[in-house]
Structure 1
Amino acid sequence: MRPSQRSAGGSPGRPNVSQPMKQDATVSVERRQPAPPKASKGSLVAEVFRVGAPLIILAGGIAAFVGLASLRKSPESVQEQALAPMVETVAVEPHTGGLDIEVDGVVVPFREINLSAEVSGRIAMKSKLCRAGTYVPKGTPLIEIDDRDYKLEVERLKRELAQAAVMLNELDVEIANTKSLLKLSTEQLALQRRELERQKKLAERKIVTDSELDQTKRDELAAVNAALTLSNELRLLNTRTNRLESARDLSQSQLEKAQLDLSRTKVAAPIDGVVIEEMVEEDSYVQMGTVLVKLEDTSAVEVRCNLKMEDLYWLWAQAGVEAAASPTRDYQIPPAPVSVHYELAGRRYTWEGVLSRFDGIGVDERTRTVPCRVLVEQPRNVKIESLAGDGTSQNGKVGPPALVRGMYVTVSVHAQPQMTLLEVPQRAVQPGNTVWHIQDGRLNIRKIQVAEATDDFVLVYADASGLAAGAKLVSSPLDVATDGMTVRERVNE
């Protein structure tokens, strides 16, 4: 059968390409596979030794490791402590004295006065001191307005007063004469009335005629008329006197106004100050109300600054400040002493002042701070210190001798808090306002509540932080800090 399969479809010795090669290969393998040999007793022992020897060696190693581990002693606590990390510590100090709140500020004028023309006219004189930047004492003449018209007005009114006085004197004379005539007329009237009574009695006795009686009556009526005329004239003279007196008083008021206008032609400095701006020149014509000069009051200055609500809390809680008892005090800032600092050329210039008032009312919506004003009543009383730490500068007069507008300064508000505060060095404060407190050789992580921070230390509330004066805090870095870990404190020799 196999020879016939080789010769079918091709030459002898070549496989038939039309049949699969896999079947041909399988047939050849099956044809060539030798018969399995019979197992002997020696080969079985060798196989067992080859597989069991590594297992025996591994079991021996495990037994030796367990035996050595049982001989190891447990480490002592002293060795564990020797491996604890070494740290440096600082002590918490109690805060004594007040609390300084530092903010930035700018100096502003205490008062700025606009000197305006109170009368109209031509500028006849302008003083050489009336220049921007010039210091002028109180009462210094600055500007004079042409006063000739005002002098003439004063003279005219004086003459009117003199004329009114003469007319009043004339009236006094007329009144006196009229009173005398009225007295005579009254006496004449009395005589005529008695004469009339006699004539009536004689007429009854037919001694006088009716015509004589009538004549006596006419004389009596004439006397009455004369008395009445003089009385009316006297009342008229009194009325004229009142009118002239009123005119005289009016002229007197006009004279005082003219004299006041005449005095207003001379413009002088009302305060000790510095000329900030000049608006007119000599020979210029000005109307009433025209601003001539701007003066700044140098007797005092103010510093404009902004305080946070946290800063105001210290002022409200400072020693001696109680709750406001009236609406007036509710809108006033608690007064506090202030130091104003200005640094220049390695020196610090200091002025003393007081936190006087709010600059308006409420909180600034943009900065969320409260605008305040500091009053410095003695802007020329300056204390100069050297920033190099060598005491007061030898050239004490070198630098700004006075606090002037526009200077950017540092404001230190001195508050007196009532609560207990502790000083924690800055290097002992960890991220997140925490500290590493060492107690009985172990590290405790505590959260602190910061009241105020400075360059060297932070002030914390003693009650809220759970710390006390003398507590030791870690000031050196640690790779890993966990609550309750054992640490060693470095002893400074």
Structure 2
Amino acid sequence: MIQPANQQPAPLSKRLKLVILVFCLLIVAAGGAVGFRFIQTRPKPPQRPPSKIAPLVETLTVQSAQHTVIVDALGIVTPARQTNIRPEVTGTVREVGEGFVPGGLILRGKPLLRLDDADFALTLAAREAELQRAKAELDLERGYQQVARHEWELLRRAENKVDNPDLALRKPQLAQALAKVRQAETAAEQARLDLKRTAIVAPFTGLILEKNAEIGSRVSSQDVVAVLVDTASYWVEATLPVDRLAWITLGGNGRSGSKVQITSPASGARAEGQVLTLRGDLESQGRMARLLITLPAPLSAHPTPFLIGEFVRLGIEGRTLDNVIALPRSALREDDTAWVVSDEVLRIRKIGVAWRDTHTVLVDRGLTSGDQVITGTVATPIDGMAVTPTPDRGSRP
């Protein structure tokens, strides 16, 4: 039967809608059950205990031993003996000695300058002539003495009384003649000495720092013709804190001072000196103590000689300490503590510092031989934290 064109289809029945809804819910439930099953049966990773974080640290195995304290200081090379050479007589320079130049080396007794000695030679000849005349007058007076003595004997035999026998025996005349001889001898010796002094010689083997005369120069006893420095030994004037003096042995009173290793930073020259004495005043600016240290044979140093006025580094041997442990300065922590590894655990220990300088620390308590001391850094050190020490590289200061 044909329905009309404007007629609508019949709506689905309520039962059919219910069936469709139930079917959808069954599909969703089945999917959820399958998913839940997958979750329940998925493989589980094996459970491990949390790993322990132990940072790697650099350590040093320490040993107790005997150590000599080395006091570091700086110093300036100065002359041990320096003299201004002045002529003892006035004259004109006739010649100069070989090596008489700034920086030249002059041996003891060798001439630096020679003055024109013609006038001095003439003066000596005149004084020697006066001496001969005085001696001749003395010989004449001694002859007169014999005559006077003979006359005195005759007067005594005649029993004549003489008021002043010294005049009769010409004793005043003899004394006068003797005085003239001595005076002439002195004048001749002075002229001889002045002639000798026309040769200006080096009083010791030395280095010429200054030369102030040349051939033709007119010089007198007021003029400094040269400045000479003794090359047998120099001094080093060192400055160091006052509290370091207790570690050093001072020289003097028959006692040898501490040995000193002297090094030139500029040339690398090395020498061994000795503490001579302590200056009695402090440095004006830094209030530092000042030592004088001997520097023997400064011109023989290798590879270059020491120069006056240069700065040098000093290593002064101080007292010797027994049963102490040497640590690098980097191993000393705040409040004089050290970090020690014990059973792979960091321990913070209080230590006693007997000596410290820029590079080394000497510990007399708080550590024992065989301890592993941490020398590197730890980001956040905590007493009791786990650490991993590096392979031991042996004991070193």
Please give the TM-score of this superposition, normalised by the length of structure 1.
0.62
Q: Which residue identity lines up with residue 467 of structure 1 in the other structure?
A: L
Name the residue aligned to 1:120.
90
Native 8 Å contact 1:106 1:406 kept in 2: yes
Q: Deviations over 1:414-433 (max 9, x none)?
A: 22323543122344333554
Matched, 1:85 2:54: yes
- CA deviations on 1:288-333 (whole Å, 9 max, x unpaired) are 23211111111111222112234322225xxxx9xx9xxx86xx99
Task: Kindly report which structure 2 residues correspond to 1:302-313, keeping only aligned pairs within 5 A, or say none.
Answer: 302-313=235-246
Structure of higher RCO (CA pairs closer than 8 Å, 6+ residues apart): 2
Q: Decide which structure has greater helix share.
A: 1
User: Do residues 473 (structure 1) and 376 (structure 2) align?
Assistant: no
Structure 1 residue aligned with 2:21: none
Identity among equivalent positions (%) equals 20
Aligned pairs (5 A) from 1:210-289: 224=160, 228=162, 234-235=168-169, 237-289=170-222
Alignment of 1:480-491 (within 5 A): 480-483=380-383, 485-490=384-389
Give the corresponding residue for 2:273: 353
8 Å CA contact 1:437, 1:473 repeated in 2: yes
- Matched residues in 1 for 2:226 and 2:98: separation? 13
Matches for 1:31-430 after TM superposition, within 5 Å? 83-88=52-57, 89-187=59-157, 189=158, 224=160, 228=162, 234-235=168-169, 237-315=170-248, 335-343=257-265, 348-358=268-278, 360-382=279-301, 399-400=303-304, 402-430=305-333
Answer yes or no: is the 8 Å Cα contact 1:436–1:473 preserved in 2: yes
Q: Call closer, same or farther: CA 1:285–1:482 in 2, change over 3 Å.
A: same
Note if contact 1:87-1:474 (Cα within 8 Å) is conserved in structure 2.
no
Q: Distance in 2 between matches of 1:138 and 1:445?
A: 66
Q: Secondary structure at the match of 1:340?
A: strand
CA contact (8 A) 1:274 1:298 kept: yes
CA distance in 2, matches of 1:373, 1:440: 51
| CA shift for structure 1 position 454 | 4.5
- State the SS of the aligned residue for 2:385: coil
Deviations 1:163-210 (A, max 9, x none): 1222122222222223333434554x36xxxxxxxxxxxxxxxxxxxx
Change (3 A) 1:138 1:247: same
Distance 2:271 2:347 in 1: 45
More off after superposition, 336-345 vs 424-433: 424-433
Specify the code of the residue in structure 1 equivalent to 2:52: L
- C-alpha displacement at 1:112, in angstroms? 1.0
Q: Which residue number in structure 2 is paired with residue 461 of structure 1?
A: 363
- The answer to whether the 8 A contact 1:421-1:459 is kept is no
* 1:362–1:341 Cα change, 3 Å: same
Q: Structure 1: state its 5+ residue gaps.
A: 1-77, 191-223, 384-398
Highest CA radius of gyration, 1 or 2? Answer: 1
* 8 A Cα contact 1:114 1:291, kept in partner: yes
1:178–1:230 Cα contact (<8 Å) kept: no
With the length of structure 2 as denominator, give the TM-score of the two structures.
0.76
Q: RMSD over aligned Cα, in angstroms?
A: 3.2
**Which one of the candidate residues 331, 337, 346 is aligned to 1:434?**
337
**CA deviation after TM superposition for structure 1 residue 334, in Å:** 7.0
Paired residues of 1:87 and 1:487 also in contact (CA < 8 A) = no
Change (3 A) 1:174 1:427: closer
For 1:96, what is the secondary structure of its paired residue? strand
